[in-house]
Structure 1
Amino acid sequence: MGFSNARRQKRATRGYVTNVMPYGSDYATRGSRVSERKFAKEVHRQGMKRRLLLVVGCIVAAVVVAVAVGMTTWYGSLEASIALGDSDAPSALTAAEEGAPFYTLVAASLDDANPDAPNATVDALALVRIDEERKQATILNVPPNIQTTLSDGNAYTLSSAQAEKGDAALIRSVSALIDVPVSHYVKADANGIVELVEALGGLEVNVREEVDDPAAGGTYIPAGTQTLDGQGVLTLLRATNFTEGIDQQAQNRRDVLQALSLRLVGGGQGELFGIVDRTDHPFGTDVGINDAGSMADAMAATDPASVFGTLVPGYEYERDGVKYYSVTSDALAAVMEAVEAGEDPSALEDESTVPPDSFTLTVRNGAAITGAAAAMEKTLSGLGFDVVDVGNTDTDAYNETLVIYKDDKFAPAAQTVVETLGMGRGVLDQQGFYTFDSDVLLVIGKDWKPVE
């Protein structure tokens, strides 16, 4: 039985439909769906990756911000712990030239009393020249009982100038005395010194003479190299009853300051920051913490042999029961010449002047100025000189003030008088022209001007 062409065409069409179209359509659809699912998964994966990177980025940013805030807070706390507070010191400081040596004034109050009290006294002073390029420092001890005249026209000791007029008055007075600009200021008190030494785990110091001074503290310190705790260091700084008096005291204070300074800068800024972080308020300074760190890096591993030191040349005297220190101007000029040249000024210590009470002095008025001899006697006696005779010369022909001595052994004594007065000329009386029974004779000339 045959099919008509129409039926065959229909079957053929159905056959195509049943044999071709279902297979091709299903495959294409499944392929399309697979591709869509893969694409969707890839889009999702990429989206997840972007979200993950965004989350990680946010976490990293948060950590960076937290670290930055933490470091800023830490630096801020270090800055606050060494700040000078409301001190007027910055107004008296002179900016140092870049790369050039500069001077820093270090002031310490050694009393246990509140260092912020209005009458707190400066008990120890040191002017330190720092040469970062050469890794060299020179410590010049400045006795705080040196007298100075402030802008109000009144005389003060350096210590009382600081207590009554502030840090700026002290800085200006020392700058004028030594004739150098002061660029930085460091101020410490007894509590801060003890705290600093304890943070260092003690301080090794060469004690040159045993310390047994009840007025300085209850710590006995034998001579020799010792590792001292905070109270031991404070006792060494305070002690005064030494064989060589103020000279040994100044040496002890230089030794302590040298040892402290080398420990503070020895490991660079990292070690300095760590030490400051372990303390509350070890000292105050105008130097910011970052600048202090840079200074520590510059002076790290400084050779102790490159740290020099000496005492401002002069002598101590007593007036009305109070001890003062008189500076020998010519000797100071020689010391500062060595300091500025980067040389060790201690080599000049043997050329120091004679104590004023170690020889006798006669004063004669040769200038025909009424009351000149009496005024001079009062001045010199006030400075500790042993004036045994006062009067007038037989003639008024002395245009120049002369300091006369009969023997070479009194030449240093005569020079002490000249340097104390800041005028006059030493003369050896080889011909016996002058008559006097004392060791030295001072003849006032017309170049002398009374103090008004």
Structure 2
Amino acid sequence: MSVGSDRPVGRRGRRAKPVPRGRRVLRIIGLCLVVLVLGTAGAGWWFYDHLNDNINSVPLDGRGGTEKADSSGRTPVNILVIGSDGRTSEADCRLGGGCSGTGVQSGSNADVELVVHISADRSNATVMSIPRDTMTRIPACRDSATGASTPGYYGQINSALRYGPSCQVATVHQLTGIPVDHFVKLDFAGVVKMSDAVGGVSVCVSDDVYDTYSHLKLAKGDHMLKGVAALEFVRSRHGFGDGSDLGRTLSQHIFLGAVIRKVKSAGTLTDPTAVYRLADAATRAVTVDEGLGSVKKLIALAADVNEVPERRITFVTMQTKPDPEDRDRVVVGEGAESLFTSIADDRSLTPGPGDRTRAGAATDSAEGSTTPEPTATASAVPASGIAVSVENGTGVSGRAAAVAATLTADGFSSGTTAVNAPRPAATTTLTYGPGRWDEARTTAAALGLPASRLREGARDGLTLVIGDDWPSGDRYPGATASPAPADAADEVSHAHASTADQADTCAEVSRYRTVSLDGVALTPSQAYARAGDEPDSAP
């Protein structure tokens, strides 16, 4: 398709288009794997089949909803990550305990539930924790593997896993309205395998902590956690926050952020031995749906995650309030519906690295304990101070000039220009330079651009490329359905939002008497001081 004319543009020799860093890393990984398998004298098929044979996959029944494609035909990916408390093997009995009277058990609960949303354009991701103590309606379910069934009931959300992963997916979809097309399930042994495979995970704790239930024992400061110590950390619900499952979700976000940084680091992804170790451990550690049930599909998923910058992977916890029928349980709280809608509509919570509003944490409950409120202080820049370079990437003559005229009529700077794009564009994008997020937000609001159309770039200023998805009109098609929001206060309020690039965040040790030692109720720090003979979980 030819690019429509707006103004003569001189031709210059073009340099080869630079390969994005994420793709360079993936090519390096691929090269390392090729060298690895070819160097073993024809063992390539063995390697591939070995990994495929590791994978345990089960079917989903289609009750998780269906993702909506964007105007370019791309679809988001939503995955329910389930941490099972099942003691369904001798290894899980040793790690989780509780099998002394029963031995290996059948059935399990979903003690960890994370909705992982990867945007359609792969520019951002959201990881939302659903506390296991949430009360909701469990739909009618039947587990095709075990035959366990239920006509449906009102109960704790984590209990749906007793009727199979499909039931857990259907329950989360029913509660949130978010389409969920895949799941990944790990048990106790799986967490140990993965933490060992990445060479340990670096975490920080704010004070000395000894959770006498999960057995996590760490001195104040930084630690490299491997194996059982990593499992103790992610399982600890009495060591952090207010001693409830809500506090545990925050420490899990810190752990996951550290895992993401470790796996995305060059040292991990360019080491063939590390890549093999990760691939072998990952395929052994998880159960997935059939849609992810091959090495090829899991590699494609890893590639999608690798495209997302760490600063645009946002962790949040579903807002809750006490269940009026049981103060030890919670129900969906104020703000949760806005968060669900943002994820379902593929709206980013972190569209710009300088936008602290979308990465801010919110005030929360426990006895006056607070974390910083979303600032929302990045005030919109007046239109009169914003000049936009509008480029026509469509086959429609005059599109850039028309949009530029709309902007100047709305009060934007007379320095706004209209030119041809250097190449045709299928989708419209607004690229902003360093420190220009506020200007981009003002421009997007004027034109009705959704947040998914905003991009950060290295060049100064704002460049709006009109794509084939916007062939006519002054406002972006469907602008009323999903405009770029001024801030994310509703979505992240009381959701403890953080991003994966926050390497200096420590897990806050509980100040309350949440643990017991020799029959005495103590704070985790007091328990640490009294248990001097008990070895620490990690140096």
Shorter-chain TM band: 0.5 to 0.7
2:213 to 212, 215, 222: 215
Matched residue, 2:179: 181
Letter in 2 for 1:277: D
Spell out, residue by residue over 1:111-161, the C-alpha distance to the aligned partner (whole angstroms, 9 max, x if none): 665369432222111111113734422111101222232222422322211
1:107 to 78, 82, 106: 82
Letter in 2 for 1:285: V
Aligned residues: 285
1:199 to 197, 200, 212: 197
2:106 corresponds to 1:118? yes
Structure 1 contact 106–187 (Cα < 8 Å) conserved: yes
2:130 corresponds to 1:142? yes
Spell out, residue by residue over 1:208-254, the C-alpha distance to the aligned partner (whole angstroms, 9 max, x if none): 5543111012x312343321112221111121223433432111112
Matched residue, 2:60: 89
CA RMSD of aligned residues (A): 3.5
Q: Secondary structure at the match of 1:212?
A: strand
Letter in 1 for 2:362: E
Q: Report deviation, 1:315.
A: 2.6
Q: Secondary structure at the match of 2:248?
A: helix
Spell out, residue by residue over 1:234-277, the C-alpha distance to the aligned partner (whole angstroms, 9 max, x if none): 11112122343343211111222233344445566976554122
2:286 corresponds to 1:283? yes
In structure 2, how many angstroms separate the alpha carbons of the residues matched to 1:341 and 1:309? 14
Q: Report deviation, 1:324.
A: 1.9
Spell out, residue by residue over 1:167-189, the C-alpha distance to the aligned partner (whole angstroms, 9 max, x if none): 11110110111111002101001
If asked which structure has higher relative contact order (CA below 8 Å, sep 6+), I would say 2
Letter in 2 for 1:299: V
In structure 2, how many angstroms separate the alpha carbons of the residues matched to 1:178 and 1:273? 37
Structure 1 contact 158–173 (Cα < 8 Å) conserved: yes
Letter in 2 for 1:305: R
Counting aligned pairs with the same residue, the percent is: 18
In structure 2, how many angstroms separate the alpha carbons of the residues matched to 1:93 and 1:205? 34
Letter in 2 for 1:130: I
In structure 2, how many angstroms separate the alpha carbons of the residues matched to 1:248 and 1:306? 23
2:314 corresponds to 1:308? yes
| CA distance 1:131–1:168, shift in 2 (3 Å) | same
Structure 1 contact 310–346 (Cα < 8 Å) conserved: no
Letter in 2 for 1:222: A
In structure 2, how many angstroms separate the alpha carbons of the residues matched to 1:153 and 1:209? 43
TM-score by length of structure 2 reads: 0.47
Q: Secondary structure at the match of 2:49?
A: helix
Structure 1 contact 93–171 (Cα < 8 Å) conserved: yes
Letter in 1 for 2:74: G
In structure 2, how many angstroms separate the alpha carbons of the residues matched to 1:325 and 1:146? 5
1:325 to 309, 317, 330: 330
Letter in 1 for 2:115: L
Letter in 2 for 1:250: T
Where does structure 1 lack aligned partners over 5 or more consecutive residues? 1-62, 356-452
Letter in 2 for 1:74: F
Q: Report deviation, 1:278.
A: 5.0
Structure 1 contact 272–293 (Cα < 8 Å) conserved: no
| CA distance 1:209–1:122, shift in 2 (3 Å) | farther
Letter in 2 for 1:123: D
| CA distance 1:214–1:106, shift in 2 (3 Å) | same
In structure 1, how many angstroms separate the alpha carbons of the residues matched to 2:339 and 2:64? 23
| 1:348-363 equivalence runs, <5 A | 349-350=362-363
Q: Report deviation, 1:67.
A: 6.7
Q: Report deviation, 1:74.
A: 1.9
Matched residue, 2:477: none
Where does structure 2 lack aligned partners over 5 or more consecutive residues? 1-36, 93-103, 141-150, 351-357, 368-539
In structure 1, how many angstroms separate the alpha carbons of the residues matched to 2:204 and 2:113? 20
Q: Report deviation, 1:193.
A: 0.6
2:115 corresponds to 1:127? yes
2:217 corresponds to 1:232? no
| 1:231-310 equivalence runs, <5 A | 231-241=228-238, 242-245=240-243, 246-264=245-263, 272-278=275-281, 281-286=284-289, 287=292, 288-300=294-306, 302-310=308-316
In structure 2, how many angstroms separate the alpha carbons of the residues matched to 1:258 and 1:327? 25
In structure 2, how many angstroms separate the alpha carbons of the residues matched to 1:240 and 1:279? 25
Q: Which has the larger radius of gyration?
A: 1
TM-score by length of structure 1 reads: 0.55
In structure 2, how many angstroms separate the alpha carbons of the residues matched to 1:126 and 1:227? 23
Matched residue, 1:437: none
| CA distance 1:99–1:223, shift in 2 (3 Å) | farther
In structure 1, how many angstroms separate the alpha carbons of the residues matched to 2:212 and 2:119? 38
Letter in 2 for 1:128: V
Q: Report deviation, 1:326.
A: 1.0
Structure 2 contact 178–341 (Cα < 8 Å) conserved: no
Q: Secondary structure at the match of 2:321?
A: strand
Q: Secondary structure at the match of 2:209?
A: coil
Spell out, residue by residue over 1:382-439, the C-alpha distance to the aligned partner (whole angstroms, 9 max, x if none): xxxxxxxxxxxxxxxxxxxxxxxxxxxxxxxxxxxxxxxxxxxxxxxxxxxxxxxxxx
Q: Secondary structure at the match of 1:325?
A: strand
| CA distance 1:203–1:306, shift in 2 (3 Å) | same
In structure 2, how many angstroms separate the alpha carbons of the residues matched to 1:174 and 1:188? 17
Matched residue, 1:55: none
| CA distance 1:213–1:323, shift in 2 (3 Å) | same
Letter in 2 for 1:99: R
In structure 1, how many angstroms separate the alpha carbons of the residues matched to 2:133 and 2:261? 28
| CA distance 1:195–1:106, shift in 2 (3 Å) | same
In structure 2, how many angstroms separate the alpha carbons of the residues matched to 1:316 and 1:273? 45
Q: Report deviation, 1:100.
A: 2.7
| CA distance 1:247–1:154, shift in 2 (3 Å) | closer
Matched residue, 1:442: none
2:45 corresponds to 1:72? yes
Matched residue, 1:341: 347
Matched residue, 1:5: none
In structure 2, how many angstroms separate the alpha carbons of the residues matched to 1:268 and 1:178? 35
In structure 2, how many angstroms separate the alpha carbons of the residues matched to 1:196 and 1:153? 34
| CA distance 1:323–1:303, shift in 2 (3 Å) | same
Structure 1 contact 272–296 (Cα < 8 Å) conserved: no
Q: Secondary structure at the match of 1:139?
A: strand
Structure 1 contact 145–325 (Cα < 8 Å) conserved: yes
Matched residue, 2:466: none
In structure 2, how many angstroms separate the alpha carbons of the residues matched to 1:82 and 1:211? 36
Q: Secondary structure at the match of 1:123?
A: strand
Larger helix percent: 1
Spell out, residue by residue over 1:23-64, the C-alpha distance to the aligned partner (whole angstroms, 9 max, x if none): xxxxxxxxxxxxxxxxxxxxxxxxxxxxxxxxxxxxxxxx99
In structure 1, how many angstroms separate the alpha carbons of the residues matched to 2:214 and 2:131? 17
